[in-house]
Amino acid sequence: MDLIQHADSPRYILLNELDNVVVVVNDQGVPAGTEFDNGVVTIDNVPQSHKVNLVDIPEGGPVIRYGQTIGYALRPIPRGSWVKEDLLRMPTAPSLDSLPLSTDVPGKGEPLEGFTFEGYRNADGTVGTRNILGITTTVQCVTGVLDFAVKRIREELLPKYPNVDDVVALTHSYGCGVAITATDAYIPIRTVRNLARNPNLGGEALVISLGCEKLQAGQVMHEGDASVDLSDPWLYRLQDSSHGFHEMIEQIMELAETRLKKLDLRRRETVPASELILGMQCGGSDAFSGITANPALGYASDLLLRAGATVMFSEVTEVRDAIYLLTSRAETKTVAEELVREMDWYDRYLAKGEADRSANTTPGNKKGGLSNIVEKSLGSIVKSGSSAINGVLGPGERVNRKGLIFCATPASDFVCGTLQLAAGMNLHVFTTGRGTPYGLAMAPVVKVSTRTELAHRWPDLIDIDAGRIATGRASIEDLGWELFHFYLDVASGKKKTWTEHYRLHNDITLFNPAPIT
């Protein structure tokens, strides 16, 4: 155990020389009366990952972390205090009208040549990191039947086709009882369509439909074409069964076996690292997220981009307060304007529900030392590294270029994961401070802990411990390279992540901002 006892050496992390608060590193926190090596003496007991101020902060004075103002003191805060949420007034969100657009674009990094992984090439040019039989659905009415069939496929058919990794039902709650022509209905519809095209499903999925539902199979299978093509060999409609449930199961099993035979013939081949499409997100964050795990992801992201890959970051409510740091990094003014467009759409979406981005932080985030969404955002965007931002995707849109992409999604773990799968991600990385067993069925999920204590408590759920950065046992650069190599090994199937090992899968959770009927 490499935990740091507070009795030995009280430790803190200062992130930016402009900061007037530091974060306590010791696993048990530090008691009142602790003297740090910079002479600051704590006047409160301060838990791990919480903030202590280095100077007296007057009422109304800024509290600064990451070199940015995360709040204003509601009353004078004497030096050495535990600086927590109830002492702070949150700043207003930055205005979207006067942002720096593409004003500070980072240069391209030196190309990284020669890195590869073993993947499955698809007919559409994408590459899968897994070889999965996907069975998509147009409507929730078919879920029970399909789950029954999938259980039998997994038990009876899958063992006969050892080159196929899994069978996954893409079940969801959309498809009928919805206002299908409402303004925002394109989001769930294109998400269902693009999920079926995920590279890990071999570029095509079976489609199971009921028959009478609003979302017709044609809309799922072909963009902009609602007419159902009954001759499509990969489509089955339950209402076409003339002999009840058992015929439905037999039909689905037969289709699945035809497809399994095809998938089983596929073999991994060596492909350049540029074929990786990595989706990044965080969940159950704490004040260490922005110090350890997210900077390590940022470093690895810069490496992947130098190798020509596609890297996506997301979570609108967790970038909103730091948007001025992203619009300036956009490769072109158009990309910057697309970022602003997505922020503006989300502001209006939240306003409809009389909410704003402050609804994001959870009790666990606060317990983990994150006072508000401003502090959380500044730690969240560190995942995006230091490269130029090359593109923006709307929710459910499919990525069609390489580079660093902002994929606009809610921050909700399952919704973000689902939308990144629809965007075409073939590998997912997830940082967590509080801990979550989150996993996805369609892509491997690499779990990175922000603290060593969590990695020790959950050794069979956490793949990489970034807490080593806080305790000085590894640098951000070390962890960045470790992640980079781990990504390639997992992509190649040489390593399995823990959630894959145990098949821990969250449901596909569609983002549907449109009305249901």
Taking the C-alpha atoms of residue 405 and residue 445, their distance in angstroms, rounded to an integer, is 19
To Ca ion, the closest distance from the beta carbon of 410 in angstroms equals 8
Q: What binding mask, one character per residue, do residues 226-255 give for Ca ion by CB under 5 A, x or -?
A: ------------------------------
Q: Which of residues 434-453 bind Ca ion (CB under 5 A)?
A: none
40 contacts 16 by C-beta, under 8 angstroms: no
Could you tell me if 169 and 150 are in contact, meaning their C-beta atoms sit under 8 angstroms apart? yes
| Cβ at position 344, least distance to Ca ion in Å | 21
| Binding residue count for Ca ion, defined by CB under 5 A | 4
Nearer to Ca ion, 284 or 493 (CB): 284
- Shortest Å, Cβ 282 to Ca ion: 6
Q: Which stretch binds Ca ion (CB under 5 A): 30-38, 235-243, 394-402, 405-413?
A: 405-413
> Smaller CB distance to Ca ion: residue 26 or 281?
281
Distance CA 269, CA 473 (A): 36
Closest CB 497 distance from Ca ion, rounded Å: 17
Q: Which residue has the tokens 């299978």?
A: 221
CA distance 199 to 131: 9
For Ca ion, the closer CB: 209 or 431: 431
Q: How far is the CB of 437 from Ca ion (least distance, A)?
A: 14
Angle between helices 244-264 and 143-152 (to 10 degrees): 50
Q: Which residue is nearest to Ca ion (CB)?
A: 283
Nearer to Ca ion, 128 or 410 (CB): 410
Residue selected from 187, 411, 464, 490 as contacting Ca ion according to rule CB under 5 A:
411
Partnered with residue 125 across adjacent β-strands are: none
* Residue positions counted in the chain: 517
Among the listed ranges 7-15, 99-107, 184-192, 412-420, the one in contact with Ca ion (CB under 5 A) is 412-420
Query: Distance (Å, rounded) from C-alpha 420 to C-alpha 409?
Result: 8
Residue 471 or 512: the one with the smaller Cβ distance to Ca ion is 512
Which of 210, 381 has the CB closer to Ca ion? 381
Tokens (6 digits) for 208: 């199971």
What SS3 class is residue 218? helix
Name the segment binding Ca ion (CB under 5 A); options: 174-182, 413-421, 439-447, 453-461. Answer: 413-421
Closest contact distance (angstroms) between CB of 453 and Ca ion is 21
| Cβ at position 340, least distance to Ca ion in Å | 22
Residues sharing a CB contact under 8 Å with residue 359, sequence separation 6 or more, in sequence order:
317, 350
Of 310 and 431, CB closest to Ca ion: 431
Among 166, 302, 321, 413, binds Ca ion (CB under 5 A): 413
Nearer to Ca ion, 369 or 410 (CB): 410
What residues from 273 to 292 belong to the interface with Ca ion (CB under 5 A)?
Answer: 281, 283
Buried-exposed string 31-61: b where 16+ CB fall within 10 A, e elsewhere = eeebebeeebebebebbbbbbbbbeebeeeb
User: Which residue, 283 or 396, is less far from Ca ion as judged by CB?
Assistant: 283
- Using H for helix, E for strand and C for coil, what is the string for 400-460? CCCEEEEECCCCCHHHHHHHHHHHCCCEEEEEECCCCCCCCCCCCEEEEECCHHHHHHCCC
Q: Which residues bind Ca ion (CB under 5 A)?
A: 281, 283, 411, 413
